[in-house]
Structure 1
Amino acid sequence: MWAPLKRRAFFWLWLGMIVASLGAWAQTVGAQWLFVNDPNAATIVTLVQTASTLPMMLLALPAGVLADSFDRRWLMIGVQIYFVTVAILLTVLTAIGLMPPALMLAFTFAVGVGTAMLSPTWQAMITELVPRTHIPAATRLDMISVNVARAAGPAIAGALIAAWGVPVVFALNAVCGLFLGAVLIAWRRPRVRRSDPERFFPALLAGGRYVRHDPMIRRLLVRLSSFVGPAAAVWALLPLIASRQLGLGAAGYGVLFAALGLGALGGALIIGRVRERFTANQSLILAALAFAASLGALAFAHTLWVALIPLMVCGLGWTATVSVVVSELQLLVPGWVRARAIAVYLMAFLGTLALASPVWGLATQWIGLTEAVLAAAALVAASAAGSYFFPFPERVYPDRSPVAYWSEPAFESEPDPQAGPVLVTLEIEIDPKDEAEFLVAMDALRLSRLRSGATRWELYRVGEAPDRFMELFQVPTWEVHRRQHDGRLTADDQAIEDAAFAFAVRDPRALHLLPPDASVTD
């Protein structure tokens, strides 16, 4: 589990992310506690959670495009400069008393914009810093960094608020951002060979297309959202549980938040051993049931010490679920689209969190705090049924290492990169007795073509020769097709194509159809 820390670059960046996350969690606590005694606190404190996470839903995929196209180190440095600037402005305005709820929500949203840029960039960079065999361990260490910060940040924030007030917490966030910025500046990243950056909007569409046509990734994201939606209640309602149900001040709220973080840290530490004994589906069921039971118990806690154990179990169940989903995702996605796929995951994760948080705030106003917490616990328990009735294949990790196995087109001159759309056709002749198996194999090939860049795929039988089929797939431009040739295809795509073409009685013949007015370059 600790092997990735032996790599110097990973260790320092991992430590920098702990410090930066500590400041971010402290900032969230400060923003929520600033208005906890407001008459509209049930709405405001849940909207703080929404304002901090909604940018991830809106901007994570564009951030993933940038992270896949440009130098990730310089991108993270730019984000830290932005973070520190926003944190300083927030500190000054709060200190001089110019921070009404609407402005606080705006600043919280601005911080969330930076997080939306940082998270997919960092998580995609992990695979550069450690070998593939260490990716699950590195993912768990990343979860540990988040949860160490989740445990320590709120506790520190509670103590600082009790002693000196909320502005000091925002100043702490600025200092933590400076630390990660210094680590990034000191790191001398090895030169990474990369192809010319993709144009923004085609790259954006390619990322969404890849996720849409990978059934395992889709199922992972649905499973995650069905858990996060109701589980978000514990984060959204914790300030109200602290102040109204338990009668605690800022320091007590920090202790409750720290209990969640400590439980989450414990989950990150033990999930590796759990996965040795249980499958991913079984791990998700156990995590959801443990979370549901502890959240239900929390609804009846009336003292600080009674509330700590359920909160620790909630933290453990939360981290176990997220850790399983992230580690599975990292192993499923090829490098050319990794940051975009992680961005889609973050959109599903934090977007669900952002949308669900105000719902639980409204539910509290309508039916009461205890009833809202119990309803959330029941829905988390119901989400466990998804892992039981809709399991995904266990430990099926396709080889997504890049492989250039397509032969080069026999053109006299290269088409213009922006020429398109381009229609690629392949004539495939098979033995009629293999038709049923061939069609099944071609359905898998359809998903492979669509993941790597095709916008349309069709298979036709030749009427004049029923044992012949024509495969057609369309890509937007010649540039996209060149990227299929030069970096998007993987060993898994090759295996899928080989399985389909194994039924051909002779090598399929490919043709590339261009628009009649397409220009060519010598």
Structure 2
Amino acid sequence: MPPSSAPCPPDSLLQHRAYVAFWCARTASSFGFQMLAVAVGWQIYAITGRAFDLGLIGLVQFLPSVLLLLPAGHMADQFDRRRIVLFGQIVEWVAIVLLATLTLLHAVNEVGILLLIFTIAVAKAFESPSMQSMVPALVPPSLLPRAMAVNGSAMQAASIVGPALGGLLYVAGPGVVYAVSAVLYLIAATLVSRLRYEQTPPKREPATLKTLFAGVHFIRERKDVLGVISLDLFAVLLGGATALLPIFAKDVLHTGPWGLGLLRAAPAVGALLMSVWLARHSMERNVGKIMFAAVAGFGVATLIFALSKVIWLSLLALFALGAFDMVSMVIRGSLVQLDTPDAMRGRVSAVNAIFINTSNQLGEFESGMVAAWLGAVGSAVLGGIGTLAVVGLWMWMFPTLRRRQRLHVAPSTQEGEAQAQTV
């Protein structure tokens, strides 16, 4: 089973056995992927000694995640989502087994590793929208925010413990890391294969530009969904201070690698603890204001980190940044899923994933470019101020989102609010 460091779902979610199986499967594959990522980076750098090749690892993962997500979202709404997820995990498992076998036989090279990582990235691109769309069918709408928080806690635990565990196992060789990762993926695939999942029979449509971009059209028509997704896009795009952590550690805080490690871990620890709290406490009122407050808190934490000259205050700011980001993520993920009909969830999840992937990548690029002009501190300060400005502008542009009380709103209520806006 997945490592015990992943927090368990609360009692209310434990009653839904299908969700528990899904959660265990996702936790296992997440730990496996985090361990895999550490081993691949170390192995390629050991083979070539070129930093450029480390960038190629990111490139072969990024391209499929952007180029294939719209077709993957269309497939998620046309076919059995459980089978798509299962097929994706089996492909990933086979690629990892090949990677482990070639490594143990000393028959692996850089090109072979990159091709197998590309294969895994393609499979993940098709798996992701289906996996995201499955959650609302596994728990009642009232429990979806808690389920999203529990998912977040597992992801954060994997991002903290997985690399450390992978690094320890790497002492015995990269083949050992790949073998353990393959076992975790096999556990995940087995759990998904036995998962009892009910999906509304999809209405088969041919793949056209209209059906592929139906998710984009849907988001444009739903103001609350558009507001929450675009708010996250611009907040992450502007507030990417974490990309500059090596500069802050060395030149601002005057610490060494140990300090950089603490700085990198702080947001994940904040996010993990917040996700555990959210998994056991419901957000029943004022979710719109809570979300805007969380994004504003993200901006303030970015400003404090930018101006801090001592490591304890920087760690505290990054801890708060991660916690605020988790609140925003849970509200965004729950609202998008609950406001989207099941027949559209795959395509909407795909568009949402494109926004998230793009904002993360471009956010790091933007922070680096601005830091080259204004310095790391100036870049982070500008990002924090920009995030606060976006919050104020979005509160004015999306008043129904600002006034939204609950995550789950009945369709008739949404239609009434939409009509009220047009009067």
TM exceeds 0.5?
yes
Deviation, 1:128, is: 0.5
1:390 alignment partner, SS class:
helix
- In structure 2, the residue matched to 1:385 is 389
Distance in 1 (CA, whole Å) between partners of 2:143 and 2:182 is 32
Q: Which amino acid aligns with 2:352?
A: Y
Q: 1:274 to 1:292 in 2, by over 3 A?
A: farther
- Tell me which of 179, 188, 191 is aligned to 2:187: 179
2:268 aligns with 261
Q: Single out whichever of 114-123 and 375-384 deviates more from structure 2.
A: 375-384
CA distance in 2, matches of 1:94, 1:241: 37
Relative distance call for 1:257 and 1:499 in structure 2 (3 A) is closer
Q: Is the counterpart of residue 129 in structure 1 residue 133 in structure 2?
A: no
**Counterpart-to-counterpart distance in 1, 2:227 and 2:418:** 24
The whole-number CA distance in structure 1 between the counterparts of 2:168 and 2:141 is 41
Does the CA-based 8 Å contact 1:59-1:117 persist in structure 2?
yes
**Conserved? CA contact 1:90–1:170, under 8 Å:** yes
1:313-352 to 2 correspondence within 5 Å? 313-352=320-359
Q: Flag structure 2 segments of 5+ consecutive residues without an equivalent.
A: 1-8
Q: 1:219 aligns with which of 218, 227, 233?
A: 227
The corresponding residue for 2:299 is: 288
Say whether residues 1:375 and 2:367 are aligned partners: no
Q: Is the 8 A contact 1:46 1:237 kept in 2?
A: no
Alignment counterpart, residue 156 of structure 1, candidates 139, 145, 165: 165
Larger strand share, 1 or 2: 1
Question: Could you say if the C-alpha distance between residues 196 and 308 of structure 1 is closer, same or farther in structure 2, counting changes exceeding 3 Å?
Answer: same
CA distance in 1, matches of 2:107, 2:377: 34
How far has the Cα of 1:129 moved from its partner?
0.6
Distance 1:68 1:253 in 2: 43
Alpha-carbon distance in structure 2 between the residues aligned to 1:16 and 1:388: 40
Contact kept in structure 1, 2:235 and 2:295, CA below 8 Å: no
Distance 1:36 1:242 in 2: 23
Q: Deviations over 1:243-294 (max 9, x none)?
A: 9985549xx9877655443222112234576956752211221133224433
Higher relative contact order (CA 8 A, sep 6+): 2
Alignment partner, residue 4 of structure 2: none
Change (3 A) 1:46 1:356: farther
Shift of 1:362: 6.7
* Aligned with 2:21 (options 1, 4, 12): 12
Show the counterpart of 2:78. 69
Rounded to whole Å, the distance in 1 between the matches of 2:385 and 2:28 is 34
Taking the aligned partners of 1:282 and 1:148, their CA distance within structure 2 comes to 25
The percentage of counterpart residues that share the same residue type is 25
Q: Which has the higher helix share?
A: 2
Compute the displacement of 1:143 (Å): 1.3
The size of the alignment, in residue pairs, is 400
Give, as a single letter, the amino acid of the residue that structure 1 aligns with 2:333. Answer: V
- The verdict on how the C-alpha distance between 1:327 and 1:223 changes in structure 2, with shifts beyond 3 A counting, is same
Q: Is the 8 A contact 2:238 2:366 kept in 1?
A: no
CA distance in 2: counterparts of 1:64 and 1:314, whole angstroms: 31
Residue aligning to 1:199:
206
Give distance in 2, aligned partners of 1:45 and 1:295. 28
CA–CA distance in 2 between the matches of 1:240 and 1:35? 25
Query: Which range moved further: 105-114 or 222-231?
Result: 105-114
Whichever residue aligns with residue 394 of structure 2, its letter is F
Q: What amino acid maps onto 1:178 in structure 2?
A: L
Higher mean alpha-carbon deviation, 254-263 vs 378-387, is at 254-263
The answer (yes or no) to whether the contact 1:150–1:257 under 8 Å persists in 2 is no
Q: Which moved more, 1:199-208 or 1:342-351?
A: 199-208
Distance 1:341 1:50, change over 3 A: same
Maintained 8 Å contact 1:151/1:257: no
Higher mean C-alpha displacement, 338-347 vs 350-359: 350-359
CA–CA separation in structure 2 for the residues paired with 1:224 and 1:494: 24
Note closer, same or farther for the CA distance 1:320–1:398 as it changes in structure 2 (3 Å cut). Answer: closer
Distance 1:53 1:108, change over 3 A: same
CA–CA distance in structure 1, aligned partners of residues 233 and 28 of structure 2: 28
Rg larger for: 1
* Inter-partner Cα distance in structure 2 for 1:359 and 1:93: 38
Closer/same/farther in 2, CA of residues 44 and 165 from structure 1, 3 Å limit: same
| Gaps in structure 1 of 5+ consecutive residues | 402-489, 504-522
Cross-structure match for 1:31: 40
Deviation at 1:140, TM superposition (A): 1.4
In 2: Cα distance, 1:259 partner to 1:157 partner = 19
Change in 2 beyond 3 A, CA 1:14/1:373: farther
User: What TM-score comes out, normalization by structure 1 length?
Assistant: 0.65
> How far apart are 1:308 and its partner, in Å?
5.4
SS at the partner of 2:213?
A: helix
